[in-house]
């Protein structure tokens, strides 16, 4: 396992790149008005070529795998002293994962799979507030001589809902657990990353660069937000007690953001919406959605302290993209939400070490491309992947 960024050099080298990363990233956190969409027949059936499976990853969460001591576990995600048990600290998040094993609690991650299970894996990682189902019309159109697999992040989709906080670092630990439990790291990995799924995906790549074949990212979170002031008012509201509670009581990310015309040109059928709603029918299951606004880090630290333990994590992700010449496909769109057109040129310049980047304009898509342009998305990924 390799560590591909230096803590000493992180802030010094990253400030320029972080200025571009995600003044618009918080748009992900802005609730849009509920769109009164009409139901129509759409791409709403899971293709028969996809197989639904699940795997228990709880055995991964041991002291050996989760220890925070950089000297003995340099690829570790957790860096806080275990004496720090405050909310949202590394220590409490780490201890929650260790408790899963000591309490014999099962952590099952569900996933969709197709292609050749004996070949190099292509791992597609969804974001907020979706699940592997989002990729259902992309996966069958990717190279079927690859092992194509899309997990439901823990707490999402059909994956289990353990008693944890669902921090970005916990999601990153779960992704590593998923990869190692299925032994996907025995062959070179290609990631396809979307939305906050880029956080655990890039965190894994930055710590295991020798296992990475290539990375595709679009509409992704690539680093800390440059400043708190650039967050939309709605995103700032979601970081207050009242605002965060509304995510749970109103299921805002499903009933507002997902179906909004600002986020997607796709009109969701009743069947599709039923799938996306299913994991969050109960208010008690929406904590995984509500914590996301609190986990977004602000460069230099936020006054409300939320997300501050993730500054180094996301800065390390950006540093990895800036300095490691792993082949990457960066796709952007004219109506991009998380990565608007104004950020595209700077991303091309900052995250293209040694000419490693292929950059492609995907036209007028918005945020949920997997629903808007699944065939075109799969075709572009396939063209790039076949040249690796």
Which residues have a catalytic role annotated?
195, 219, 367
DSSP lists the bridge partners of residue 332 as: 361
Q: Which residues pair with 357 in a beta bridge?
A: 328
Question: Read out DSSP for 238-278?
Answer: HTSHHHHHHHHHH-HIIIIIIT-TTT-S----HHHHHHHHG
Alpha helices in the chain (DSSP H): 7-18, 63-66, 90-102, 168-181, 198-207, 233-238, 241-250, 252, 270-277, 287-290, 292-295, 311-323, 341-350, 369-372, 374-386
The CA distance from 153 to 123, in Å, is 12
**Calpha distance 44→22 (Å, rounded):** 31
Contact call for residues 65 and 293 (beta carbons, < 8 A):
no
CB-based contacts of 51: which residues, under 8 Å, 6+ apart? 112, 113, 114
CA angle 235, 339, 35 (to 5 degrees): 55
d(CA 350, CA 318): 9
**Chain centroid, CA 291 distance in Å:** 14
- Distance between CA 41 and CA 227 in Å, rounded? 42
Decide: 65 and 74 in contact? Cβ < 8 Å.
Answer: no
Q: Cα–Cα distance between 30 and 233 in angstroms, integer?
A: 8
Q: Please tell me the distance from the alpha carbon of residue 59 to that of residue 148, in angstroms, as a whole number.
A: 24
Q: Are 141 and 378 in contact (CB under 8 A)?
A: yes
């Amino acid at each position: 396992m390799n560590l591909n960024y230096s803590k000493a050099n992180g802030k010094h080298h990253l400030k320029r790149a972080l200025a571009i990363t995600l003044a618009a990233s918080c748009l992900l956190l802005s609730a849009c008005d509920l769109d009164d969409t009409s139901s129509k027949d759409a791409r709403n059936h899971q293709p028969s070529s996809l197989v639904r499976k699940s795997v228990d990853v709880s055995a991964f969460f041991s002291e050996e795998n989760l220890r925070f001591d950089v000297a003995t576990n340099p690829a570790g995600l957790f860096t806080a002293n275990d004496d720090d048990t405050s909310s949202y600290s590394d220590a409490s998040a780490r201890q929650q994962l260790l408790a899963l094993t000591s309490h014999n609690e099962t952590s099952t991650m569900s996933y969709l799979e197709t292609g050749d299970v004996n070949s190099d894996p292509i791992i597609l990682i969804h974001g907020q507030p979706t699940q592997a189902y989002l990729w259902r019309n992309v996966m069958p159109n990717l190279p079927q001589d690859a092992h194509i697999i899309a997990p439901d992040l823990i707490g999402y989709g059909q994956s289990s809902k353990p008693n944890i906080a669902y921090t970005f670092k916990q999601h990153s630990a779960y992704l590593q657990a998923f990869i190692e439990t299925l032994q996907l790291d025995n062959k070179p990995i290609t990631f396809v990353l979307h939305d906050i799924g880029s956080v655990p995906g890039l965190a894994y790549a930055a710590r295991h660069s020798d296992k990475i074949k290539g990375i595709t990212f679009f509409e992704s979170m690539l680093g800390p937000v440059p400043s708190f002031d650039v967050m939309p008012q709605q995103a700032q509201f979601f970081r207050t007690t009242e605002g965060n509670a509304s995510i749970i009581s109103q299921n805002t990310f499903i009933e507002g953001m997902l179906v909004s015309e600002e986020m997607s040109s796709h009109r969701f059928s009743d069947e599709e919406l039923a799938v996306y709603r299913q994991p969050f029918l109960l208010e008690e299951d929406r904590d995984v959605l509500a914590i996301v606004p609190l986990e977004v880090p602000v460069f230099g630290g936020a006054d409300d302290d939320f997300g501050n333990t993730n500054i180094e994590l996301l800065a390390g992700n950006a540093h990895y993209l800036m300095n490691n010449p792993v082949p990457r496909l960066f796709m952007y769109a004219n109506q991009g939400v998380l990565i608007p057109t104004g950020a595209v040129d700077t991303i091309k310049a900052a995250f293209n070490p040694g000419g490693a980047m292929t950059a492609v304009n995907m036209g007028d898509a918005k945020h949920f491309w997997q629903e808007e342009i699944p065939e075109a998305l799969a075709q572009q990924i396939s063209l790039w992947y076949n040249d690796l």
